[in-house]
Structure formats: C-alpha cells, structure tokens
Amino acid sequence: MIDNLIWFIILSLLAEIVGTVSGFGSSLLFVPIAGFFLDFHSVLGITALFHLASNLSKITLFRKGIDKQLIINIGIPSIIFVALGAYFSKFLDSTILEIVLAIFLIVMSLTLFIFKNLVLKPTRSNSIAGGALSGAVAGLLGTGGAIRGLTLAAFDLEMNSFIATSAIIDLGIDLTRSVVYTANGFVHVHDLYLVAILIVVGFVGTFVGKKILALFSQAQFKKVLLILIFVIGVITMVKQLV
C-alpha cells in the first residue's frame, strides 16, 4: 500500500512537470498512469480535482499576458462540451473507456510526431471547434489538453501567455466536470486523501516545470513526450486486452 502510494506520488509529479513543460497539461500522462492504481471512473474524478490545484498553480506562476478573447472563444465551448462528455461517461463501461483512451493516446502521439509542423489556422471558428472537441474528450476520457494545446498554438502566443490562458480555460473545464463526476458517483470519499497530496504535487511540479522551461527547447521536450505517450498508450491497450 505504502509502496503504491510512493510510486503514485512520483509518477504524478512527473506528469505535472512534463505537462507544464510541454504545454499539453498533466492529465495526458496522469490519466493513464493513475489507471494503474485506480479504476477508470475513479481516475476521472481524481483527475478533475488534481487539475483544479494544478491550474491554480499555473495561473499563479504564469499569470502574465492572459488572452481574454481566446478564453471566451475556446473556454465557453470547452465548458459546455466537457459537461456533456462527463455526463455520458457514466453510460460507458470503464474498460471501453480505457481502450478508447489508449487508441486516442496512440493516434494523437503518432500524428503529432509525424506531422511536426501541424498547425491550425488562427480563426475564431477553429478556436471554437477546438474548444468544443477538447472539452468533449476531457469529459469523456479525462484528458483533452493536447487538443486545446494544438488549438492555442495556432495563435502563436508567448510561452507564459500560452500556459496561463490554457490554465484558465482548463480551470473552467475542471470545475464543470468535477461537479458532473461527483453527480455520477466517480468521486469517492476514500480517495479524497489523495487530493491533499496532489495539491502539493501540482504546485511543486509546476514550479519545477517552469525552471526546466528556462533550460530546454520545448520542441525537443515535446518529441520525448510524444514517444512516452505512445508507449503509455500501448501499455494501456495491452493491459485491457490481455
């Protein structure tokens, strides 16, 4: 039990650091990692609560240059569709959701790795569509940060502005899905002790991630991250099929 908790904390911290540096958010790694310790519906609940702390720390440390128009264009459809995705997640078996998550991780990592220069046009319609899609995926699978990151990247934001704007949008997403997941019964009293631990992990991981951003190229870091996401996707798939 103690060994599992230690590994959970270490891997959660890694997910937060990598999520901060890459700009994709911690849930992209945290959701499949947490799936090795908790059932998938519990993972959805604990991820939303973890992200609340994680995004507050990002807003605190990267608060300069927030883009209010993108928060409206991406944030509003994200909040609407995350509520829908979170609601419908209760009707799907957790095994099916994990298989879908594995497929999503594998396809997304391969796509972004092969098409390194993949960018969207910086239009209002793309920001709204990207927000809706990232929200729906976040609600259903627990992680939509990569889609939101790709959408925000189209607008060529400065790094602090990118992370802070993404964090504010994500904060609205997490508040919304936390309510829906709680109503679905995904947030369990016996798991709540993890929230206090993850609040500390969120702030420490974000702080370390900010320091790393000053030392390394984000493009190089993303390449390593995409390989890691692909491997985790394959492991998640194998875990469900064997």
How confident is the prediction along the chain (242 residues), in pLDDT tens digits per residue?
A: 566 788 888 888 888 888 777 767 777 788 888 888 888 888 888 888 888 777 887 787 777 768 888 999 999 999 999 999 999 988 888 788 888 888 888 888 888 788 877 777 888 999 999 899 989 988 988 888 778 887 887 887 777 788 888 888 888 988 899 899 999 999 888 888 888 888 888 888 888 888 887 776 666 666 776 787 788 788 878 877 76
Only one residue has tokens 């991981």, namely 205
DSSP state for residue 93 in the 8-state scheme: -
Structure tokens at 34: 């947490």
Can you give the pLDDT at residue 138?
A: 87
Structure tokens at 58: 């990002």
Only one residue has tokens 């790094």, namely 159
The amino acid at residue 68 is K
Query: How many residues are given for the chain?
Result: 242
Can you give the pLDDT at residue 78?
A: 94
List all residues 6 or more positions away from 90 whose beta carbon is below 8 Å from its beta carbon.
Answer: 41, 184, 185, 186
Domain count, the chain: 1
Cα separation values, 74 from 55, 168, 204, 221, 238, Å? 16, 11, 27, 25, 34
Cα–Cα distance for residue pair 61/73, rounded to 1 Å: 23
Only one residue has tokens 């019964």, namely 185
Report CA 23 to chain centroid distance, whole Å.
Answer: 10
Can you give the pLDDT at residue 220?
A: 67
**Is 0.95 topped by the overall pTM?**
no
Report CA 197 to chain centroid distance, whole Å.
Answer: 18
Q: Is the CA virtual torsion 164, 168, 173, 178 positive or negative?
A: positive
* Residue of 33, 53, 48, 69 whose CA lies nearest to 161: 69
Range of the domain at 229: 2-241
* Residue of 78, 77, 82 whose CA lies nearest to 184: 82
Can you give the pLDDT at residue 2?
A: 62
| 8 A C-beta contact, residue 25 and residue 170 | yes
